[in-house]
A and B are shown apart, each in its own frame.
Chain A
């Protein structure tokens, strides 16, 4: 993997003026060996997350957004998956060099996790209380009595009334929104510095989604926890994220401040994505402009830009190499497109 001048400048601009980032992912590669060939699900991604900030990873199914996050936690099943290269610096330590036991100590204590499906990510045969106290006892050596007390506090914190009774209940006795609140309580139990939330509200109804997102925002701000939100919902990103990374076919194709991504997109995929969603705040327009074609088969990528077949700005140069992230209009804004600088305001308009 080449470390060209582009990548170096990428680093410098991100770390300028800030102290060490809490999470610093460098050129991470994760692949899966399948019958159809090697799938490079994550193909060299780099991004940083500072303490207390909310960073969104946006992309569609198969773009590698979840695999990228699971790689940070080293939760990739091996076989068939394998992290083949890169560094994941968390608080200055490279997580990819830790032993399995050290990693286990870190998960759920310093890095919390919230998954999409609260139905399957809670253990159905353990009470809510046990699932919260378990991590406290494991990671902190808290006594069972103190852990129960703390569990009650945590349920109060995530807005579950009647905590003492709820602690004795099982996941099936709770609604979807309640379960996701419990997941958040578990993630918060050991005062993590970072929470990774993979589609935390996709399975929930819209009014419950709003409650959960507000709760996560309020708690991460109050407790100064950094949050990585993985989602396909562009509205959720606009409401909550400070910085955004857009993924396509295993790579980050655009990265920058939320306002820059939405109002000055410099990658044709981002532009197409923003144009393809119907908007609630606008009267109906004549027609949506979908991204034509299908996402690529990751086992059959060629040397060129992976978005090329669906891109209306593509030229011959796009077939020669995969573009790397280069600085776009403003500081901290990067796009991986040969034509990034040529895109006009009309091209960008959503």
Chain B
């Protein structure tokens, strides 16, 4: 295998919790991301899944350097993003773009669609000529399946699916190599969701894009991703090829997560024996000792309470952080 486009090593992102009005002092920290490693190959789509608060969005924000990681390395194409200055990072941002979840709050309501898409080109000085910039906007709209007349409209005149297409067009304006997709379809209706998923797939092929696809909807992830990492409470508990992970999950949390998702087929559902995993996700301020999943885990033994499980390569390219499998 050639060198990966992105390599994340030992990434930690701890947010301090401070108290006091006059003299702020740290009283604890939220361990949003607590030591994770993964790679994303060129042209590959890696899925990052998990429930709210597992740290998947924070991981994406660290890669975009919207957060300054507490520790760890984020090596993009041979350069450590975590140690770049703001100025150097600004340059790199042309290559790394983002698509956000909420198409309602990620577009400026006072700007026309055309301006929204043209702005990054203007800021980065990619296309200084206004007329050419406009032509490029129209081209991008067409690529994303929108009529060119949308350039003169405002976000509120568009549906959720159309807005998400605008978000995608804006990301593409920079000719990026790598796009962090943070829940790009979860705010959309089922029938529109499929349209946007297909668009993301087409663009990946057409422009040779690499995606980090952050989502909680496992069915969408299975469809779109080549490899999948499952996160729980700031850590990656399992990482494998998509079909391998979904057909042959090893970590008890992955199993619980997959069992919890109902399949749209009453006959399949009748045949499934189903017991939902008990309890709720503990607070990342004071995570459980040892394996973070042990309080909810049906397989936990005494040693799980004390020792943090090492990530092992169970089968070739199938990694699991659990001592009991």
Contacts and interface: CB of A to CB of B under 8 A. Distances in A.
A239 interface: yes
B218 interface: yes
Contacts of B256: 207
Given A276-B194, A288-B194, A290-B192, A207 B159 contact: no
Nearest to A281: B263
B: contact size bracket: 35 or more
Contact of A239 (B193, B222, B262, B281): B262
Given A237-B264, A277-B219, A278-B222, A290 B258 contact: no
A283 B263 CA distance: 13
Interface in A222-260: 232-240, 258-259
A: contact size bracket: 35 or more
Nearest to A63: B189
B195 A290 contact: yes
A187 to B, nearest CB: 20
A290 B264 contact: no
Contacts of B276: 207, 210-211, 214
Given A205-B52, A205-B216, A263 B194 contact: no
A154 B56 CA distance: 36
B194 A290 contact: yes
A242 B189 CA distance: 23
A207 B242 contact: no
22 contacts: A61-B189, A206-B261, A207-B257, A207-B260, A207-B277, A211-B278, A234-B190, A235-B262, A238-B265, A239-B262, A240-B262, A262-B267, A276-B190, A276-B191, A279-B219, A280-B222, A280-B246, A281-B265, A285-B223, A289-B194, A291-B195, A294-B161
Given A207-B257, A238-B266, A278-B219, 8 more contacts: A207-B276, A210-B274, A237-B264, A239-B266, A278-B222, A279-B264, A290-B193, A294-B159
The 10 nearest A-B residue pairs measured at CB: A235-B262, A290-B194, A291-B191, A278-B223, A234-B264, A210-B260, A205-B51, A276-B194, A210-B276, A239-B262
Interface of A: 60-61, 175, 177-178, 205-211, 213-214, 232-240, 258-259, 262-263, 272-274, 276-281, 283-285, 287-292, 294-295
